[in-house]
Amino acid sequence: GMAEVARSFAGVPHRLEVVEDAFGVQWINDSIATSPERAMAGLRSFAAEQALILLAGGKDKNLPWEEFADEVLARVDYLIGFGQAGAMIVRKVQEQAEFRRSTAPSTAVVNRLDEAVDLAARAAAPGTVVLLSPGGTSYDAYRDFEERGEHFRRLVRERNTRSVLSSAEPGAVRIAEEPS
C-alpha cells in the first residue's frame, strides 16, 4: 500500500543506504545484510560492470557461502574481509574461484571495520562503489547491525572530511592518505 511505497522511497536505514558520494566514490551502508543471502541481494543491486569494493565479515551463522562467493566472483573487484568471519569469507571466495576455474578478486583481511574502511578509501578510484554488505551478523564487535551501520557512517564521513581538509588548492593533486 501507500505506506510501503513511502517507506521504500525514503529508504530504510542500513539497507543499501548511500552514506556519501565523495571524490567520485559512493559509500553504501548495507549493514542490515546479516546473512550471505542478504549480502547477495545487495551485490545484485549494482550493474555487473560497476567497479565494486565489498566489505564483508562480522560473525558467521554457519550458513552456506558458495552462492555468495559466485556473486562476488561475478561482481567484486576488491574484497575486504573484516571481523570474526573475514578470513573465512575470503577463503571461501578463493576456493570457489579455483572450483569455477575463474579469477578471484583482489582480497585483504583485516580485524576491524575501521581498517576495512581505510583500505577501501585508499584503493577506491573515482567511479567506484564501496559497499558494506557484510553477510555476517554484527555480534562479534557491535550490539546490533544498526550500531555497526552507524559506525560505518561515522568512519566514512570522518575520513572524507579529513581528506577534504588535507586537499590543497582546487585543481591540485589530492593526497588520499594521511601520513600515519
Domain with residue 130: its CATH number is 3.90.190.20
Residue 4 domain flag: no
- Find cell 545484485 and name the residue: 44
pLDDT attached to residue 172: 40
Tell me how far apart the alpha carbons of residues 45 and 30 are, in angstroms, rounded to a whole number: 11
Reading the chain (180 residues) residue by residue, the pLDDT tens digits are: 455 544 444 567 788 999 989 889 999 999 999 999 999 999 999 998 999 999 999 999 999 999 999 999 999 999 999 999 999 999 999 999 999 999 999 999 999 999 999 999 999 999 999 999 999 999 999 999 999 999 999 999 998 887 766 654 444 444 444 444
Tally of structural domains, the chain: 1
Helix, strand and coil percent figures for the chain, each rounded to 5: 40, 20, 40
Structural domain includes residue 19: yes
Provide the greatest CA pair distance for the chain. Answer: 52
Residue 180 lies in a domain: no
DSSP 60: -
The whole domain housing 121 covers 10-166
The three-state secondary structure class of 11 is: coil
pLDDT score, position 150: 97
- Cβ neighbour number for residue 11 with a 10 Å cutoff: 11
Q: What is the pLDDT of residue 20?
A: 87
The answer as to whether 172 is a domain residue is no
Note whether residue 115 is domain-resident: yes
The answer to whether position 174 is within a domain reads no
Beta strands in the chain (DSSP E): 17-22, 25-29, 52-57, 78-82, 106-109, 129-135
Asked whether residue 1 is assigned to any structural domain, the reply reads no
- Report the C-alpha gap between 83 and 103 in whole angstroms: 24
> Does residue 85 form part of some domain?
yes
- The pLDDT assigned to 162 comes to 78
Cα–Cα distance, 149 to 145 (Å, whole number): 6
